[in-house]
């Protein structure tokens, strides 16, 4: 059964965890206008799509900081792009400084509800990258 696609709103602490930076760094990016945030129930929050845009822009311009991370077999991050071509799709996940690509069926993308801005974990085993959709916290 496919997941319902809802707008993902991430708290500052969640953005910091995904990007492996401090909460204060995220706040500075917001205050400087580099990352857009909205007031959601009295707190500043960033949409998943905005975080994906921020990562793409900064990575493409060489401005993504080298976030310290210990690579493990399960890397949580944000889907930055989904490219479909017939029966297959290419899913890109940014997990800290790591950009991971996984080719899967378009049907699997639909079942997982993956789109730019979705939270996901990349499971890496040898040459395989498996994408696991992460649930959005109900707030």
The H helix count followed by the E strand count for the chain is 4, 8
Q: Which domains does the chain have, with CATH numbers?
A: 1-139 (2.40.50.100)
Please give the pLDDT value at position 138.
Answer: 46
**Confidence band for 1, pLDDT divided at 50, 70 and 90:** very low
Q: Whole-prediction pTM value? A: 0.54
What pLDDT was estimated at residue 21? 82
pLDDT in tens, 20-70: 788 888 999 999 999 999 888 888 999 999 999 998 888 765 555 544 433
Q: Specify the pLDDT at position 46.
A: 94
Query: 93 exposed, middle or buried (CB, 10 Å; 0-12, 13-18, 19+)?
Result: buried
Residues for the chain: how many in total? 139
In sign, the C-alpha dihedral spanning 119, 123, 128, 132 is negative
Collapsing DSSP states into helix, strand and coil, what is residue 27?
helix
Contact 8, 48 (CB under 8 A): yes
Three-class secondary structure of residue 126 per DSSP: coil
Q: What is the pLDDT of residues 5-15, one digit of tens each?
A: 466 889 999 99
For residue 105, what pLDDT is reported?
Answer: 95
Distance separating alpha carbons of residues 86 and 17, to the nearest angstrom = 34
- The predicted model gives 60-88 an average pLDDT of 72
| Inter-helix orientation angle 12-19/48-60, to 10° | 40
Kindly report the number of other CB atoms within 10 A of residue 24's CB atom: 10
* pLDDT tens profile 98-133: 899 999 999 999 999 999 999 998 887 666 677 888
Q: Which two tokens stand for residue 105?
A: 């069926």
**What is the model's pLDDT at position 18?**
85
The rounded percent of the chain whose pLDDT value lies above 90 is 48
């Amino acid at each position: 059964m496919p997941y319902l696609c809802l707008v993902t709103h991430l708290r500052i602490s969640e953005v910091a965890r995904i990007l492996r930076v401090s909460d204060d760094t995220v706040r500075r990016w917001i205050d400087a206008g580099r990352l857009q945030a909205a007031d959601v129930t009295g707190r500043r929050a960033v949409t998943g799509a905005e975080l994906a845009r921020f990562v793409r822009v900064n990575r493409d311009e060489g401005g993504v900081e080298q976030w310290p991370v210990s690579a493990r077999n399960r890397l949580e991050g944000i889907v930055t792009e989904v490219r479909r071509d017939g029966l297959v799709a290419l899913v890109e996940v940014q997990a800290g400084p790591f950009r991971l690509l996984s080719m899967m069926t378009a049907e699997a993308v639909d079942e997982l509800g993956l789109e730019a801005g979705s939270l996901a974990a990349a499971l890496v085993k040898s040459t395989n990258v498996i994408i696991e959709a992460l649930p959005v916290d109900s707030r």
